[in-house]
Amino acid sequence: MELLSPTFWLSLLNVVFIDLILAGDNAIVIGLAARNLHPSVQKKAILFGTGGALLIRIAATVVVLWLLKVPWLLLAGGLLLVWIAYKLLADQGEEHNDIQADTSLWAAVRTIIIADAAMGLDNVIAVAGAAQQHLVLVILGLLISVPIIVWGSTLFIKLMNHFPWIIYVGAMVLGYTAANMITEEKRIMPFFTEHPAIRILFIAVVIGGVVFLGYRKRTTSKKAQAKQQRSYS
């Protein structure tokens, strides 16, 4: 992939979009960890905490990029990303009441970094897959998306809540990325290269399966919650 080529820019947009789609929980953690700090200190906590989390995220992604070169791990990463794409639609949002709201700058920074590292596996695998093992894409994508997460996360979360179709587009992009990772596994790539129609069909099935199963789980959960609320009233 040549730098500054149309393919490079398209892949970069893909990396940034995926990171933003999966960043909702990370934005919530940042807000919760720094909510008890004095306003004059909050910005420092968010800046330092996010900076530390970014460095860890880049290092972890570099490790994943290397691991994906090991036979069959690209296939494993793709299958895991299929599950992540499904969970993006299926989950109704998790509570983060266990995130401690610290009252000192460095305690909040530590909380942000540790929580982000614990929750960042999906981002790391998705970004590594979308970057197609291209380190420059990984670093540029994270450098672009992280500031948006910090300063525009609330707006982006509201945007996703107001326009639910953004979540479905994100799941489709993740599904495509996962299917593409699987078809690029060196041990089975010759089969898909010889049968391009099967490769296209496989990618379409993965995307369709993720959206269908995720939508069904999402609607089933909403109906169950509505029924439970009616029983309490």
Query: 93-126 burial, b for 16+ CB within 10 Å, e for fewer?
Result: eeeeeebeebeebebbbbbbbbbbbebbebbbbb
pLDDT (tens digit, 9 = 90+) per residue, 174-225? 899 999 999 999 899 999 999 999 999 999 999 999 999 999 988 888 788 7
Q: How far apart are CA 28 and CA 150, in angstroms?
A: 10
Q: Write down the pLDDT at residue 157.
A: 59
183 and 54 in contact (C-beta within 8 Å)? Answer: no
pLDDT at 182: 94
Instruction: State if pTM tops 0.85.
Output: no
Cβ atoms of residues 183 and 55 within 8 Å: no
* Report for 98-112, 114-128, 206-220: range of highest mean pLDDT: 206-220
104-110 average pLDDT score = 79
Over residues 144-149, mean pLDDT: 72
Run of H or E residues at 109: helix 105-119
